[in-house]
Amino acid sequence: MIQQAWEVIAFVCVIITTLGGAGAIIVSIIKWWRQPDKTRDEMLKEHEKKLDNDHKRLQELEESNKIMMQSMLALMSHAIDGNHIEDLKQARDDLQKYLIRR
């Protein structure tokens, strides 16, 4: 009777060990299967950061170009007729503010 109890206990332990090993193998297969998803997600996050930085840089360039064009327009207006001094002063102040903020 005790012999049979030990055999049952040993059999249960073997089954538990086998199932645990099989479970570990299944988990490793699932991790291997999902690895491309994780790699892709990390790559997408990096690309999103780069795109955000590029977007900010483009906005700064657009603002810079706008201020430069306004300054050039004020200079051309002044050079043509000698007037528009107030526009020139305003363009200078705008350019100065922009350069200081930068």
- The tokens describing 90, both together, are 């305003």
pLDDT digits (tens, 9 = 90+) for 78-102: 888 887 788 888 888 888 888 888 7
Q: What single-letter amino acid sits at 39?
A: T
Phi and psi at residue 83, to the nearest 5°: -95, -155
Residues 84, 77 contacting (CB under 8 angstroms): yes
Residues 74, 87 contacting (CB under 8 angstroms): yes
d(CA 49, CA 43): 10
The answer for residues whose C-beta is within 8 angstroms of residue 95's C-beta and 6 or more apart is 67, 68, 71
- The tokens describing 27, both together, are 């988990």
pLDDT at 77 over 90: no
pLDDT digits (tens, 9 = 90+) for 2-57: 788 888 888 888 888 888 888 888 888 888 887 778 888 899 999 999 999 999 99
